[in-house]
Structure 1
Amino acid sequence: MAARTAMILGTFPWRHMQIEADMIANEVVGEAIWLNRVDTGSATPMGIIRDNHLYLMTFAPTDDLATIQLRAAFNAFRAEVSELAS
């Protein structure tokens, strides 16, 4: 069985929602980052990042800017976390 790593990276705001970034990694699939809306009391999948590409999920907004704005919000969150870590 392949070793599996899972961790919550943190949360960030997007379109008046709180999005939690959860990283899952294993030897077979590689790294995937799930972006889940968590301000409603349950985790609702908004997107997943695999191979550096963001894929929106069924519950995400469907307008033309959703992918661009969610990716920008995640990138800003990741840069902030990286800066705090150094």
Structure 2
Amino acid sequence: MAVHDDCKLKFLELKAKRTHRFIIYKIEEKLKQVMVEKLGEPTLTYEDFISNLPTNECRYAIYDFDFVTEDNCQKSKIFFIAW
């Protein structure tokens, strides 16, 4: 299974520039390749992310989760999700 170059490029944009809240990847069976299906704007929420996942199909996704620690520090964690 190949991975389209855009997959890595969009991930690096999310990681370095925070240009996306999430990325959803889809396996294109005909091309035998993993491709970017959906990019989420930085202003979108976790609920928006979940609503973009299909109920009966598999996907891979990256989600950039922002949170505040007990010490009131703004933090971010990037999660890889197999759906």
**TM norm structure 2:** 0.28
- Larger relative contact order (C-alpha < 8 A, sep ≥ 6)? 2
Structure 1 or 2: larger strand share? 1
Higher alpha-carbon Rg: 2
